[in-house]
Structure 1
Amino acid sequence: MPGTVAAPRGGVLRDFHNRYESVRESLSLIDTAAREMGLPDISSRLIEHDGTTDRRGPEVQYLEIFAVSIATHHVLIAEGVRPVAIVGQSIGELWALAAAGRLSVDDAARLAVARSRALTRQNWGGKMLAVGVDGRRAESLAGLINHPDLVLACENTPRQSVISGPEPLIEQVERVADALGWPSFRLDVPHPTHTPAMAQASRDLRATAPRVAYGAGRWRVCSPWLGRDVGDDDPVGLVADALTARVRILRTIRDLHAAGADVFVECGEWPVVTKFVEASVPGVRCVVPLSGSDPVAAVRELVTGSTDGGPFLPRPPAPPGTERGPAVRVSAATASAPVPALLTAAPLSGTTNVSAPAPAPAPSMSYVVTRPAPAAATPAAPEAPAAPASTPVAPVAPVAPPASAEWDYETVLAELRTLYGDFLGYPPDLLGEDDGLESELGVESLKQVALLGRVSERFGLPGLRANSSLLTVGTLRRIAESVVQGRAEAAAR
């Protein structure tokens, strides 16, 4: 289950709320807990409204992410999916405990808010930086500066790690990474964590968090920071100790895959953790129901395992030069019984993929389905290896500015099509304004970061590169709208 990712879209749970009593009950419990803690209702925006977040603070953001994750979990269970295990990344472990039945939904909400408030009280001036290299090199990079609070915080994939530390030191790390040609991206998270600097917040949380009842639960919960399954552990202690611990989601994914998990279902809104999975164990099936037009149909397709198309169509082949990893194979064995599934981790609080530096972040819920091996399977042809994430992005020739000083939407969109088309090797007129840059065109997020940097320079908007929401659901329309709005605001100042 995910940790700190971007705030969900308004209305994202409308269909789930209308169809499933278990979803309505969970959302009601979260709303009740929120009101008790002086927060607004969480479900209303997720059920009734379109648009994006109104940025009501980190506590609301955490609870909205929790609401989306637990609602998706209930839909999966209602439709017959049975998790082999549930995995949460960073604060996503709290969602996993609730999904497994070790914690009540309302107690998990209360503990999430207590965690957020302890971090806010510490008010630490830190940052988290995703770097497109393996954990060993990222740890060496942090070690160059030799500060106790600057550490390797997360190992997400073989070519993506996250460093956490004081902001001035993160700036130094960023410069060194740039000099080495290692792609990097600052994570837009309200509370940087997974560093010894969080010891004060950890102690504060232990002292102030509500005592919560917990039980054995229905399903196995795997902890990427403990490196083992959760046993008879105190939930408050788990959440508090995770603030200073390293998260090794890469190892957890590989262990689960080695044990037979070959289908991972993300319970968040967008593919974040499943990108870690794809980069770590290519060839598995990854499903993100809420990222499609009909999430319920996607879940039912998962359960039936039909092979007649449906929502799980393979991604189109990557255009030359995009250097993305192998495509996910989506063919499934037929099955009539409920599908056992393994819930895998969500992005961490502050962990965004470097192969996809997703907006904070860096941590939806994912299931991994295990299937028996066929009696005489024919080995598939090996996938072509992905190009190293640290490969510098080839420069894109600058586009000459138009004679007009005005930047209306159509003008900006035309400029973007030319810039992105040159980079991707696509004719500009084939780039649809609503095509997902990563989901449909295969442009992995670090390349998107580089392109956003060029867009920032092109239009004189230095803050655009840091807008991580443009990476999560990146389309030319969203980027063009952000440019037009940014230019208008700049002109008004």
Structure 2
Amino acid sequence: MTQRALVQFPGLGGYKPGILAQLIRDTPALASVLAEVDQVAAAYGLDSVSGPLTDPAGPEIEELAQTPARLHMACFTAAYVLYQALRDKGIAGDVLLGQSTGEITALAAAGVLTVADAARVLGERELAVEEVNIAGGLVAMRTGAVRAQHLCGAAGGLSLEVSLSNSSEQTVISGTDQDLPRLEAVARAAGVQVTRLLVRYPHHNSALRPAAHRLATVTASYPLRDPAARVFSPILGRFVADAADARRIIDRHLSDPVHYLAAIRTLYDDYGIREFLEVGARAVLTESTRETLPAGVVLLGPPPNAGDARQILDVLTGSATPQVPPLAVVKTVVPADEPIAPSTNGVAAAQPAASTNGSVNGFSAPATNGAAVRSLPSRAELLARLRTIFAEALGYPEDVFTEDAHLEADLGIASVKKTELLIRLLDEYQLPTPPAHLRMRDYTTLPKLAGLMEDLAADGTAA
């Protein structure tokens, strides 16, 4: 690499089953990292983290998300091991950056925290939010932070806060279970697509300050070192100068917002970063970077269908040309959202909350005005249309959309992007709005989406 490069680590969402299997077999020295994290996981009563990461038949991200601490540890371990392998190939990056829990990965990668202590921070983090037990979550919105803040005000919820500013078109709001449904209704009425994310608590929200205090108290004895590499913190909004700054990140990352958009712009504008490498099991941050920066920057990350860490490393090191850009900007005529993930990164949408007009997962009823539902083509023609729509919107070749390709786990397409593209197809074929009980996370392949459309065309209800 001849230009200054940023290595960025995703938070929640940077997981794929079996992603480290072959890498660990080829590089046994990296197995010690998995062993350390497994030992920490066991101390918290969790099943192994190495199992899902080395077994291609391991749990998908939706299943692992049922045990948040284990998923956080798996995302951390995957990114940390990939970074160590990248360094072994001579690429360390000029600056490190993590988003949400990815900040813990960045600190470990810079030598501030040991692997074991980083895993313990993630374990204690979940214990802290469980103890405070403020039921809530995150809502991803396809709009900028200023408009998102106005919508929060219109909804009137005292708990609603901007938690992650990911790009000019991606904002994530946190709040309680009482306030989030009002926000969703207000946003939909304003034409802004919203998607509830699969988390149980309002992360990066001041309501979690008691949890942050507990985390700070429990982790106060963890030894921290000054960073051995340059680390930029989206929470602090500046470079991490010393161990005291690292302590501030640990103490505040549950309750403070993540200014990812500002961080990326600062590194590009003020520090000449021109290469952005996403080190994780799935492309989570790359699209937000693409939406934020000029077209000339170099963006490298996990390619679609990457089931092996070596494929990711080949792309990051330039040993292989990515089959397609990691994720392309999608510009559509319908409002949509794309969370990264943050704590939301790429995690499947939770059970959708229905609005008063029956909309779901951000869908608005197509304006058919009583017109008859348009007839669908044959299943083969419909699948071909789905492949074309998804390929054109995401910049992927059509042949990656095989009938068994998991849209999220294999291709890295977040459920909200899947929803956005389905909306286009519903409008194209004048299909009715899906019912409120439908869960978009259940439609993981193109044939399943085609089946949903056929059900809607038949009688307006999903099977």
Determine if the TM-score, normalized by the shorter chain, exceeds 0.5.
Answer: yes
Matched-pair contact (CA < 8 Å) for 1:3–1:348: yes
Q: 1:270 to 1:298 in 2, by over 3 A?
A: closer
**Closer, same or farther in 2 for the Cα pair 1:444/1:187, shift >3 Å?**
closer
Q: 1:309-336, CA deviations, whole angstroms, 9 ceiling, x for partnerless residues?
A: 73354589999968999xxxxxxxxxxx
What amino acid sits opposite 1:122 in the alignment? Answer: V
Rounded to whole Å, the distance in 2 between the matches of 1:265 and 1:90 is 17
Cα 1:164–1:449 shift into 2, 3 Å: same
1:347 aligned onto 2:361: no
Q: 2:251 aligns with which of 227, 236, 240?
A: 240
> How far is 1:217 from its partner?
2.8
2:76 pairs with 1:66: yes
**Which residue in 2 is equivalent to 1:124?**
134
Pair 1:216 & 2:226 matched: yes
The answer on whether the counterparts of 2:287 and 2:329 sit within 8 Å (CA) in structure 1 is: no
Matches within 5 A, 1:297-312: 298-300=312-314, 302-303=316-317, 305=318, 310-311=321-322
Where do residues 37-48 of structure 1 align in structure 2 (5 Å cutoff)?
Answer: 37-48=44-55
Structure 1 residue identity aligned to 2:126: S
Q: Distance in 2 between matches of 1:448 and 1:322?
A: 15
**Residues 126, 298 of structure 1: CA spacing in aligned structure 2 closer, same or farther, 3 A cutoff?**
closer
The one-letter amino acid paired with 1:255 is: T
Aligned to 2:419: 449
Please report how far the alpha carbon of residue 161 of structure 1 lies from its aligned counterpart in structure 2 after TM superposition: 0.8
Match of 1:52 in 2: 59
- Could you tell me how far 1:11 is from its partner in structure 2? 1.4
Cα RMSD (Å) of the superposition? 4.3
Tell me which residue corresponds to 2:359. none
Q: Is the 8 A contact 1:30 1:105 kept in 2?
A: yes
The answer to whether residue 438 in structure 2 is matched with residue 463 in structure 1 is yes
Q: 1:152 to 1:319 in 2, by over 3 A?
A: closer
Corresponding residue for residue 296 of structure 1: 310
Partner of 1:4 in structure 2?
12
When the two structures are superposed, what TM-score results if normalisation uses the length of structure 2?
0.75
Within the candidate set 268, 278, 283, 1:271 is matched to 283
Q: Distance in 2 between matches of 1:110 and 1:242?
A: 15
Gaps of 5+ in 2: 1-8, 351-361, 455-462
Contact (CA 8 Å) 1:115, 1:205: kept in 2 or not?
Answer: yes
Give the length in aligned residue pairs.
413
Matching residue within 347, 351, 357 for 1:359 = 347
Q: Which amino acid aligns with 1:464?
A: R
Which whole-Å deviations, capped at 9, do the CAs of 1:236-277 have from their partners, x for residues lacking one?
542231222111100111111222222212122221111110
What is the deviation of 1:215?
0.8
Deviation at 1:420? Answer: 7.2
Q: TM-score, normalised by structure 1?
A: 0.71
Aligned partners of 2:142, 2:163: CA distance in 1, in Å?
A: 14
Counterpart position of 1:13: 20
Structure 1 distance, partners of 2:276, 2:255, is 27
- Distance in structure 1 (CA, Å) of the matches to 2:448 and 2:130: 31
1:336 aligned partner = none
**Residue range with higher mean Cα deviation, 139-148 or 185-194:** 139-148
Pair 268,441 (structure 1): closer, same or farther in 2 beyond 3 Å: closer
Q: Deviations 1:198-217 (Å, cap 9, x if unpaired)?
A: 11211222233362111123
SS of the aligned residue for 2:181 comes to: helix
Could you tell me which runs of 5 or more consecutive residues in structure 1 were left unpaired when the two chains were aligned. Answer: 326-345, 353-357, 363-389, 403-409, 485-492
Q: Distance in 2 between matches of 1:42 and 1:109?
A: 11
Residue pair 1:131, 1:160 contacting (<8 A) in 2 also: yes
Query: 1:2–1:89: 8 Å Cα contact kept in structure 2?
Result: yes
The one-letter amino acid of 1:463's match is: L
Q: 1:75, 1:113 → 2: CA distance?
A: 25
Contact kept in structure 2, 1:72 and 1:268, CA below 8 Å: yes
